[in-house]
Amino acid sequence: MAKALPDILNTPLVIGDKTIQNRLTLAPMAQLGHIAFRELLAGFGGFGLMFSEMCSAKRIRHENRFVSPYFRWRDEELDGLVCQIFGNDPVVMAEAARRIEAEGFFGVDINFGCSASSICAQAGGAAILKDPPMAGRIVHAVRGAVGIPVMVKFRTGWRDDPRIAVEMAKRFEDAGADGLTFHPRVAPDRRAHRPKWEYIGLVKSAVDIPVFGNGNVFSPEACLEMISRTGCDGVAVGRMAVARPWAFAQWSGKFPSGTHPYLETALRLSKLLSTHFEAKDALRRFVRFALYFSANFLFGHTLFTKLSNARDLDTVEKILMDFFKTEPKVVSQPNMNFFR
């Protein structure tokens, strides 16, 4: 008999010399996977690891965790938090990893997946996939610098050829990576096409280390399908976790099915953002969250327009309270037009 999704997700998994108790992870997301959102998500549970926002390796050596917008955390989340870094210098990447280890993070994640022009222009992120030997040297340098788990997030490459991804996965494993998160899209594709999940299966078959699949997992059915079709060890979820922060807990069988605490969740995040960020930065981050949150509702465009024009978080809370005075129509799956 096939296992139910919660049974699969709640099966422990070894990464390097550490063990996680759940096979769902929060994928790293700029302006979304910040300290306030992670605290919100932690309140629901149902995940094995969370990944930080992408941090510049050059800056980490000198960053003040209480001031930095990205390199910051709560002490109580460190044992389940992986810090993601980007850069193109093996020495600098290794130095950043040493500080990450010294601060007590679960592990370090090397970003070879971001295809944003601002990152690729710095020869970082997915740009490094154009130079496989350099990508291998970076992983090797980070592995040699720390004892904590080293993970790599990467894409198919700059051409739609799964052989590239398979060879990169082998290279990363040989260089000492303890786990991989694979997003099966070519680097220039900013979600214009569906990810090719079959490539995840090819990567998984090529290595002996854990592989987390990533891309278009918007429901528990899709999560189970990805695992069943590809044999991946776990699933990294990004946008759906933002739209419905309780999704991990529901999929893992730790939260009542059919429970949707939309208003309470949005208000809670507003308060957390006020705690962790200055007013302007807090509002900017809430509006970024609001795009995905609004995708849950039939008239989500109206809600998002109002939230995006709010002058402060007090106004945000008033808009939310007004919107929920009459029970809004919730769509079965978030509107993909919002999921940019």
55 is catalytic: no
d(CA 291, CA 242): 9
List the beta strands (DSSP E) in the chain. Answer: 13-15, 18-20, 24-26, 49-51, 55-56, 81-86, 107-112, 150-157, 179-186, 211-214, 234-237
DSSP string, 12-38: -EEETTEEES-SEEE---TTTSSHHHH
Specify the DSSP class assigned to residue 71: S
* Backbone Cα Rg of the chain: 19
User: 237: helix, coil or strand?
Assistant: strand
CA distances (Å), 51 to each of 230, 260, 313, 336, in order?
22, 24, 26, 23
CB burial class (10 A; 0-12, 13-18, 19+) of residue 194?
A: exposed
Given the residues 83, 114, 223, 232, select the one marked as catalytic: 114
* Type of residue found at 103: E
The token pair at 310 is: 């709010």
CA–CA gap between residue 262 and residue 318 (Å, rounded): 15
Catalytic machinery residues: 114
